[in-house]
Amino acid sequence: MSEHIKFIQGNEVIVEGALYAGLNFFAGYPITPSTEIAEQLSARLPQQGGKFIQMEDEISSMCAIIGASLTGNKVMTATSGPGFSLMQEALGYAIMAEIPCVIVDVQRGGPSTGNPTHVSQGDVMQARWGTHGDHAIVVYTASNHQDLFALTVEAFNVAETYRTPVILLIDEVVGHMREKVVIPAEGDLPLVNRLRTTVKGGVDYHPYLPREDGRLPMSDFGGVHRYNVTGLFHDMWGFPSTNPEVVKGLLRHLIDKICNNVNQIEHHREYYLEDAECVLISYGSSARSALHVVESRRQRGEMLGLLELQTLWPFPYDMVRAKCKNAQFVLVAEMNMGQVLRSVKTAVDDPAKVYLANRVDGEFITGRDIRNILRIIMGKGV
C-alpha cells in the first residue's frame, strides 16, 4: 500500500524500525543530532500503548531502559557523543547483567560538545571500549534508509537473542538525510521476541543458568520469581561471587556469546568486489560517497570495488580478510582519524597496503575527497 512508502529522515526511520520491532519503552534526553527520535516517539509510543519518558539526563535514561527491559519491555534510548559518554557506566551494567536494550548514537563531531550540528564518525572506538573492563558488544550502522530500517529491527532481534545491549551507531548525515523508505508489511521481517522462562511461579528460577542452546530465558522482574541482578560478577542465581572459576567463566561467556557468533551477527553489502584490484571499505554516510566513486570509476574501466560494513563490532576480521585477499590496495573511507582503519589493518594480510581517506572537519566526505586520496596513493600527486 502506498501509505507504506515514506520520505523521511534517518532518525524517523529508526523510530519506524523500532516500533516495527516491538519497542514499547523509550527513555531519553534530547541532544542534537538525535533529537527527532525522542520527539517522534513522544507522540508515537503513547498512541500505541507504549511508554515515553523524558529523563533529566543520559545516565538516568540508560538506567530507566535497563529497568524497563528487566520488567519485560523492548526498550531503546537515543543520544549523541556527550550523552553516550555519560551512559558508559550503566552500559557496562547492562552488559554484565545481560539486559537486552538498544542504544542509538547519532554521531556528531567530538571530543566533548565538539561540533554538534556537523557530521562525524568519531565514536566507533568508544562504542567498543567506552565502558571499563573486558567485554564485548554489538554495533550496527547503515548508509541508507532501507538498510537502516532493517538493521534497526535486527538490533532489537540481536539484543533479545543474545541478551546484550546493541548500539545503533549512525552519523548526522544519515540521521538528517531524507530519502525513500518502504515500510515492510507486518511479518515481512522476522522478529525475535523475549525468551521467557517456562519455570512456574513458586519454583526456583536460575536467571543466569543458560539453556543447552546457550540462551538465558528471562522472567519479568517483579513478577512471579524473586531473583538477584547485579553488576558484580555473579553465579547462576545472580548472586555476587569472587570465585576465580565463576569470574573467568562469566567473563568468557559475556565475550564468547558475541564473538563466537560473528557470522550470525554480521551484515555487510558488497559492490564489484569479484575482480576489484582496489577495495574501498566504508560504512554509514561515507559509504554513499565511496559507492559513487566506485561506480563512476567502473565506467572508466577501473577495477574498484566497495565493501560496505554494517556491523562494526564484533569486527568481521575473517570476512574482511577474505574480501581484501586479491586487492592491490585497500582504502578505508570514514569521517574520523582512522578508527575502522585500525581493525582493517589488523584483519588483512598486508597492513601496509591499507590507506585512509578521511575528513575530520565536520564537512561531509565527498567522492572528490576520496578521489583526491586515491590519486595520491596511486602516486599521481595532487
Residues numbered 299 to 338 that lie near a second copy (CB under 8 A) are: 300-302, 318, 328, 336-338
Member of 47, 48, 133, 203 binding a second copy (CB under 8 A): 133
Q: Which of residues 28-67 bind a second copy (CB under 8 A)?
A: 59
Binding mask 67-106 for a second copy (x = CB under 8 A): --------------xx-xxx-xx--xx-xxx---------
- The residue among 22 and 231 lying less far from a second copy, judged by its C-beta, is 231
Nearer to a second copy, 89 or 220 (CB): 89
What element of type H or E holds 62? helix 58-70
Angle at 169 between CA 168 and CA 175, to 5 degrees: 100
Contact status: 214 vs a second copy (CB under 8 A): no
Closest separation in Å from C-beta 299 to a second copy: 9
Q: How many C-beta atoms surround the C-beta of residue 52 within 10 A?
A: 17
Say whether the peptide bond before residue 33 is cis (omega within 30 degrees of 0): yes
Sheet containing strand 329-334, strands side by side: 268-271, 304-309, 278-282, 329-334, 354-358
- The answer to whether residue 132 forms part of the interface with a second copy (CB under 8 A) is yes
Chain positions 154 to 213 lying near a second copy, rule: CB under 8 A, are none
Q: Which is nearer to a second copy, 186 or 275 (CB)?
A: 275
**Interactions with a second copy, residue window 225-254 (CB under 8 A):** 230-233, 242, 244-245, 247-248, 251-252, 254
341 binds a second copy (CB under 8 A): yes
The whole-angstrom separation of Cα 85 and Cα 102 is: 15
CA distances from 56 to 79, 200, 338, 355, 369 (A): 13, 38, 34, 43, 41
Q: What is the footprint of a second copy within residues 101-130 (CB under 8 A)?
A: 107, 109-118, 120, 122-123, 125-126, 128-130
Taking the complex as a whole, the smallest distance from the CB of residue 261 to a second copy amounts, in Å, to 8
- Judged by CB under 8 A, the chain residues 360 through 379 that form the site for a second copy are 360-363, 373, 376-377, 379
267 binds a second copy (CB under 8 A): no
Give the integer Cα–Cα distance in Å for 107 and 157.
Answer: 23
CA–CA dist 139, 131 (Å, integer) = 14
Report the candidate in 150, 248, 133 with the shortest Cα–Cα distance to residue 191: 150
Contacting residues for 187 by C-beta, under 8 A, at least 6 apart: none
Give me the least distance between CB of 4 and a second copy, in Å please.
35
